[in-house]
């Protein structure tokens, strides 16, 4: 069994129905959190998951709407009795700041278990996690600060998460041949993509399904995002919702 649960779908401004974009990959032996804004511990509980099952955390970049909840998550896990080590993957820019953030919180005084910090290589298709159920690769993408996108391969399906990015050939190479593309639709800018650009990326990848995430919420018309993407992409387009489940078998 392997499935991706989208824990949040909003851009950097959430609302009562949408948390900032993050997700969790759930397998039989590994559970991988991808990004951690807000209160990830509570969000995992809301998804019906035991947070102590987490084996790995991958942080795509060091912006508050992607990384601010990591210290709170680690504290909660320790106070709940966790003693098993946990792996935390990020690029060097992000990893250095997460560690500095933890030390600013005096975490040496309250940490209860080992966290192994793993630097993601800066090259394309760098292998992050390789286990029996899935493999996860990362590639640098085009954001305001160093950031990565992720490719998740199971024996049945391949899913790619764009992370926060403007269109870039590196993401096209990462997503090539994927079955599912989970792509941000934060809006046209130097470091983000519009829904139309997400659709163009899905068309180039050959993906069967495009899930839009990291989109404006509140009074924003989500239906327009879907229509914008379908203008340039013939596959299925889904405006993802919080706690959406994507089966990878």
Q: How many domains in the chain?
A: 1
CB atoms within 10 A of CB 81: 9
Dihedral sign of CA atoms 40, 41, 45, 50 in order: positive
Q: Looking at the predicted structure, is the pLDDT value of residue 94 above 90?
A: yes
Q: Looking at the predicted structure, is the pLDDT value of residue 57 above 90?
A: yes
Strand segments (E) across the chain: 2-8, 22-27, 31-34, 56-58, 86-90, 115-119, 126-130, 135-141, 147-153, 158-161, 180-184, 209-213, 236-239, 244-247
User: Which CATH number covers residue 121?
Assistant: 3.60.15.10
The rounded distance, in Å, linking the Cα atoms of 247 and 156 is 10
Q: Which of 13, 11, 9, 12 shows the shortest CA–CA distance to 23?
A: 9
Asked if residues 38 and 15 have their Cβ atoms less than 8 Å apart, the reply is: no
Q: Looking at the predicted structure, is the pLDDT value of residue 222 above 90?
A: no
pLDDT given for residue 221 in this prediction = 86
Residue-range definition of the domain harbouring residue 144: 2-247
With a pLDDT cut of 90, the percent of the chain lying above it is 96
Q: What is the pTM of this model?
A: 0.97
């Amino acid at each position: 069994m392997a499935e991706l649960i989208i824990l949040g779908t909003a851009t950097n401004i959430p609302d009562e129905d949408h948390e900032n974009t993050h997700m969790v990959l759930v397998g039989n032996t590994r559970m991988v959190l991808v990004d951690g804004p807000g209160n990830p511990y509570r969000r995992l509980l809301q998804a019906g998951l035991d947070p102590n099952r987490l084996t790995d955390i991958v942080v795509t970049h060091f912006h508050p709407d992607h990384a601010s909840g990591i210290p709170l998550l680690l504290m909660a896990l320790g106070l709940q009795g966790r003693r098993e080590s946990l792996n935390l993957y990020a690029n060097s820019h992000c990893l250095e700041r997460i560690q500095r953030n933890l030390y600013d919180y005096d975490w040496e005084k309250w940490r209860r278990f080992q966290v192994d910090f793993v630097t993601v290589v800066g090259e394309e298709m760098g292998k992050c996690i390789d286990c029996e159920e899935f493999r996860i690769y990362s590639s640098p993408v085009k954001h305001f600060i160093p950031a990565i996108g992720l490719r998740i391969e199971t024996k049945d399906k391949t899913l790619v998460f764009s992370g926060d990015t403007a269109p870039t050939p590196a993401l096209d190479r990462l997503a090539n041949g994927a079955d599912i593309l989970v792509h941000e639709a934060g809006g046209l800018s130097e470091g983000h993509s519009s829904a139309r650009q997400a659709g163009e990326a899905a068309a180039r990848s050959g993906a069967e399904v495009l899930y839009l995430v990291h989109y404006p919420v509140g009074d924003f018309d989500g239906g327009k995002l879907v229509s914008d993407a379908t203008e340039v992409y013939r596959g299925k387009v889904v405006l993802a919702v919080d706690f959406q489940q994507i089966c990878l078998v």
